[in-house]
Amino acid sequence: MNAILLYFLLLKATLVSFSGLASLPIIHNDLVVQRQLLTERELNTAVGVARMGPGPLGLYLVCVGYYVAGIPGAIAGCLAMITPAFLVIPLSRYLGRRADQPAVQRIIHSVILAAAGLLIASTIPLARDAVNNLQSAGLALVSFLILAFTKTDTAWVIVGSATFGLLSFAAFHLL
């Protein structure tokens, strides 16, 4: 795939989302469903790799770009991730003066709800690929409950899940 086209596809996804992973449904639709440039597993891996390290949630775009087009794709993903930050300055100046208007507040709330709905819709196919046995289903449920109802940092949930996975792998192969 052309890196410039990839940049515009990734930019479209980042421009219509408020946080890094809110762009996931659009990425999923454009690159997995419509163009078949990524598999569900590759998209899962890109999100997982990006979440393992420090940095913004949208860092997964660099991994997605790399999977699709190698180094030029990774550069396109990086540029797509940072472009909205440069657009926010003039936009926030323009909207800052109008933020108290009820119409602007309704628009912002509507966009947030739409992004949340898209995020939930994209989670289902990704979960189908990642949760494929009782052990992974239990781990996903426990991780969700910990993240939803406690203030535990995501990194600790990842470390705990990895530890559980390693211990269960070792127990399975030692028996």
Indicate whether 142 and 96 sit together in one domain: no
Number of domains in the chain: 2
The candidate with the shortest Cα–Cα distance to 56, out of 109, 14, 6, is 14
Among residues 110, 126, 142, which one ends one of the domains?
A: 126
- Shared domain for 122 and 138, answered yes or no, is no
CA distance 14 to 114: 14
121/135 same-domain check: no
Residues 21 and 35 in one domain: yes
Domain region containing 97: 3-126
60 near 51, Cβ under 8 Å? yes
Kindly state whether residues 74 and 136 are assigned to the same domain: no
Residues 62, 144 share a domain: no
Whether 168 and 118 share a structural domain: no
Residue 157 in contact with residue 145, Cβ under 8 Å?
Answer: no
User: How large is the average pLDDT for residues 144-166?
Assistant: 90
pLDDT at 18: 61
Top mean pLDDT of 16-25, 31-40, 45-54, 99-108 is at 31-40
pLDDT on residue 19 = 64
pLDDT tens readout for residues 29-71? 999 999 999 999 999 999 888 888 777 777 889 999 999 999 9
Mean pLDDT value across residues 142-166: 91
State pTM to two decimals: 0.60
For residues 26 and 110, membership in a common domain is answered with: yes
